[in-house]
Structure 1
């Protein structure tokens, strides 16, 4: 999921970290008081404002923030994740009920950002020798599996995709959308499973994507990375979404020290309106 992908910033001047933190804390206070995180004018407005702030150029060092700001950041990532899930579910449910759902995925408000993110990730994969892999797994695909859809239709036209999510409701709507394209349906499956319970099967994939919101805390993320590494095939690649600077108020950061026993191929931090950083790892051959 990469839904709250931002809004273009033409301001190249850096926003002072103190000002940025003050404004983000004010937004966090307002978001915390909301009765619901479901899409509505107030929710959309607060999160749009938050995304604008977090994509402004800044020199903020997340590691050095005081504990109360760290706690607020953790809370904000959780709130953003929940709001993002509800936004995706609402739109995917609506799109799944239209006559030709696959033709209507472009109605999703952040569709353009998914396209940019997929273009970026496809370029990174190609540069590292991953071209039209046979089998790909996407972990944390959600109700609106746009990365898999965009990748399968524009970049990996013969690849088989297995999408894993712990929420059956999310998979149900995602299946409905993809079912409207017969050719794509043959190449795309949805599994309701926690990745920590998927073992030997992970060895089938040439490339595994790990969504930004799978493993919300550092400890959870490190555990998941270790589990995937243990079972994935030697020489296989793992594409992990991360965040840098102020964007880390929206998504968890994956640090290099968290990538134990992986070969780090690339770490890319976007400066445009795409929020997620991309970390490409390979499991070394024994």
Structure 2
């Protein structure tokens, strides 16, 4: 039994939707879905209903795209925290683990580890030290970078996305302080936990929407062995302080030119894959 991961499936794109439909079954394994499955409840339920029968268990964390609301959506469309809560309900109806559930102990190959799905958002602190917080968006705009989040991600009932982020960080930190102190952990979050892991060669000034400095040392404080992230659409493995960080994005169709099937994008988290010579 292996722990696997993939993120940023973006099934609003027909090619990605077809790819998810073609993903092979691995009924003995768990699959982490690291956020940005799509932008609508239908997108997310499609992924869950397609993949849940193919794996022993699914683990889901939200990205920013799940929280998007079309500007022309009716007034009753769930937004902000209410939208997130609805996704949690959809997951629980299907037996999918969420950041709101008790953290399970992984007893499969490479275990035991505590599996910790998290929802932390970002607070615009992933920026140069000489750029004030209130100027982070303008700093990105100087290079033509703008995030759709500024128009589509409503933080209600919080006054800002930063405030929502800080509330999520405080709640999660409190849980982690009490969570199985004797067990190593697999931390799972859509957004990178460290600014130095934001590798965006084509759009470097997108970093303000990529995380919070409040989590910089969480891999050490909470005894992580592996940290799973997405969001960047730049798949890579990096080791920091002896901890393995895995970016597991599938990404947009235009970003994949190698012709590999989606199965090749599923990353083994536990047991640790053997190093390639």
Short-chain TM bin: 0.3 to 0.5
Q: Which has the higher helix share?
A: 1
TM-score, normalising length from structure 1? 0.32
Q: Which has the higher strand share?
A: 2
TM-score, normalising length from structure 2? 0.32
